[in-house]
Amino acid sequence: MRPAMLSVEDYDAAEQRAVEQLPNRIIQCCQPELFQTVGYPTRVRATASLHRYVDVMQETRARVIYDHLLKGVSASEADAITDMATIVAEMSERVYRRRCVPVSALLRALIVVRRALALMPHCTATILEIGSGSGYVAALLARSGHPVIVTDVSQAFYLHQFQLFSSIGRQLIELANDPRSLSEAVAGPTGCIIHVPWWKFYTVGASLFIPIDLITMNHCVCEMHPFALAYVLKTSAAALAQSSEQLRCIIIDGFGSTIMHSREEAESAFFGSGFEAQSDGIVSIFTPNDKQRNELVSRLQTCAFPDQPVSFKTLMKSLTSIAGRNDLRTDDELFLSYIGADAL
């Protein structure tokens, strides 16, 4: 079931109404301060402009991600990638008026998805993603049948997520244009995607009153305002404490840019909130206590790398067929390659 359409104007109007009622400190901590500092655009004026957010933040890194972080993809993962790429291509052509096929961002999402499915293989586990970016972690998990809650502070990314989540064949509750609060929405239908704007996630008191079994926040932790991170960690600890899952945890694939805040500062905030740190060599994992360590390591070892990976060439051939062109590079990648620069 598709929710009511969410236009740029709808989002901006709802955000402005919320800002008029919110305290200054919540407004302060929910600004995309790193993007503002480096000049990266986070807002659009037209839905068609959202094509710019289909495949970003991992530009030029597809082969590195595939070879060194994923160590290849399995046949079922390749099917999930081509399925999502087809959905995005058709959606972007219809809504953005450009046929876009994600590569780097979609491959990077698989790092977290692979581990989330290993830890929570049953579709009853509820997953929260904070700072979803282009949205592929949440979209892939939702396509696998998991109930997912997603929030983001960037207008442009949030609006692209809406278009993506509206197209993947799962029920979507869009709270940007729904009068319900997050706590009211989670009391409703189960097994769906709940898309939460920042002004309904960051509240004066707690916004979540249900168990969350797994939380992920990728490439954004060091980019959060300290107040936002403190709120996220307090909310996460409370939500995980209600979970009956033995392997409940937070998965982080990359802490994000350290221009604003160091990784040491971020990790200190996790430790101060009672979390224990672990790593499988690729992602960082934070657990409410150290009792799960052996089982977590054992479970993650079973999913680290595929036994019979699909070749990169075969996968790219499938994606070029979906795109209808041989060169899959985005305009951002063409520009970065020309000047010899890496992504932010």
pTM of the predicted structure, to 2 decimals: 0.95
Whole-number average pLDDT of the chain: 93
- HEC readout, 135-195: CHHHHHHHHCCCCEEEEECCHHHHHHHHHHHCCCCCCEEECCCCCCCHHHHHCCCCCCEEE
Share of the chain above pLDDT 70, in %: 97
Q: What is the pLDDT of residue 1?
A: 47
Does the pLDDT of residue 115 top 70, yes or no?
yes
The dotted CATH code for 20-339 is 3.40.50.150
Nearest to 125 by CA among 216, 229, 196: 216
Mean per-residue pLDDT for 303-332? 94
Q: Report how far Cα 221 is from the mean position of its chain's Cα atoms.
A: 12
Who has greater pLDDT, 113 or 291? 113
Q: What's the pLDDT tens digit per position in 40-76?
A: 999 999 999 999 999 999 999 999 999 999 999 999 9
Q: What is the pLDDT of residue 186?
A: 87
Residue with tokens 């802490």: 255
Does the pLDDT of residue 102 top 50, yes or no?
yes
Q: What is the DSSP letter of 111?
A: H
Q: Report how far Cα 282 is from the mean position of its chain's Cα atoms.
A: 17
Could you give the CA distance from residue 161 to residue 31 in angstroms, rounded to a whole number? 18
Q: What's the pLDDT tens digit per position in 232-283?
A: 999 999 999 999 898 999 999 999 999 999 999 999 999 999 999 988 889 9
Backbone angles phi, psi at 208, to 5 degrees: -115, 130
HSE toward the beta carbon, residue 220, CA cutoff 13 A: 23
Contact 141, 91 (CB under 8 A): no
Does the pLDDT of residue 291 top 90, yes or no?
no
Q: What is the pLDDT of residue 211?
A: 86
Contact 163, 140 (CB under 8 A): no
Rg, the chain, Cα only: 19
Q: Report how far Cα 48 is from the mean position of its chain's Cα atoms.
A: 21
Does the pLDDT of residue 112 top 60, yes or no?
yes
Q: Which two tokens stand for residue 294?
A: 């052996």
Q: How many CB atoms lie within 10 A of CB 158?
A: 25
Q: Which helix (H) or strand (E) holds 35?
A: helix 33-38
Does the pLDDT of residue 290 top 70, yes or no?
no
